[in-house]
Amino acid sequence: MPTPDESEILKIIEAEGGECTIRRIAKKMRLDTSYARVILNAMGRNDLIDIFISGKVRITSKGWMALGKQPQRGEGLQRYLEDRAKWKTF
């Protein structure tokens, strides 16, 4: 069960289409970016969101269920291929 702040963040990400940047979330929540990042990291550990190197976050299946909605994206190989296209190589 997400905290009230985590629920608000999930609603912000949902309003942005399921993906959003950390800075936009911090701005809409009126929080410092570093504090928003702490909350988002905790949400990532709880598997409510995926955090990408690019600074974007995306709601996971567990996050959609916490919102009381059906997951919007596929699982397994399809999701892996979508994520792989967003990863940066070094």
Q: What is the CATH number of the domain that holds 26?
A: 1.10.10.10
User: How many domains is the chain built from?
Assistant: 1
What is the model's pLDDT at position 90?
44
pLDDT 10s digits, 26-55 = 999 999 999 999 999 999 999 999 998 888
Where residue 71 falls among pLDDT bands split at 50, 70, 90? Answer: confident
- For residue 71, give both structure tokens: 């997951």
Q: Sign of the C-alpha dihedral, residues 26, 35, 21, 66? A: negative
pLDDT 10s digits, 2-32 = 889 999 999 999 999 888 999 999 999 999 9
- Is the pTM value of this prediction over 0.85? no
Alpha-carbon span 90 to 57, nearest angstrom: 20
**Segments forming the whole domain that contains residue 25:** 4-86
What is the model's pLDDT at position 53?
86
Q: How many helices (H) and strands (E) does the chain have?
A: 5, 3
